[in-house]
Amino acid sequence: MSNLMGMSPTARQALRAKTAQTTVPSALAADATAEWPIFYADRACRILRVGIVAYSTITGANTNTFNVNILNKGTAGIGTTEIGNKDFVLGTNATAFVEYDVVAESANAAMARGEVLNLQREKIGTGMAMPALVVIVSFELAGLG
């Protein structure tokens, strides 16, 4: 039995939830689809959410734009499981310096020790510039229930 079992659910969640942050560089509109590692699971865990903070406002468009995909690359760097995405189509915007959710709860959120999450900027059409981003990954360690 876990030492956390005698605590209130709110206190347990506060002890279990962890956050990791990293930055992703900007990309030009013409840049090809690219990926950056954003999280390494040094223990088995579950991703609770992934958010971004853009250095400048992103204003969605329908023809030439980009998507932000969060991919579990596995332990060998070849995985393709998408745990969430945000397509910056017309009407989907992100205000500069305001946190914006890319992933909330996901069925694919479990990660084994040694797996890596990547942020992929997927170019659509001739693309759209992506500002530099701060990426926030909230997770909880497995087995602390």
So where are the chain's domains?
9-141
Strand pairing class (17-24; 133-141): antiparallel
Helices (H), the chain: 9-16
Distance CA 144, CA 100 (A): 28
51-85 pLDDT, tens digit per residue, is 999 999 999 999 999 999 999 999 999 999 999 99
What kind of architecture, by CATH, is found in domain 9-141? Answer: Sandwich (2.60)
- Per-residue confidence at 43, pLDDT binned at 50, 70, 90? very high
The residue type at 91: G
Distance CA 64, CA 135 (A): 23
- For residue 125 the two structure tokens come to 């059409």
The pTM (predicted TM-score) of the whole model is 0.86
Q: Between these two residues, 17 and 45, which has the higher pLDDT value? A: 45
pLDDT over threshold 60, residue 2: no
Residue 105, pLDDT score: 73
Question: In a 10 Å sphere around its CB, with 0-12 CB exposed, 13-18 middle and 19+ buried, how is residue 31 labelled?
Answer: middle
pLDDT over threshold 60, residue 21: yes
- Per-residue confidence at 108, pLDDT binned at 50, 70, 90? confident
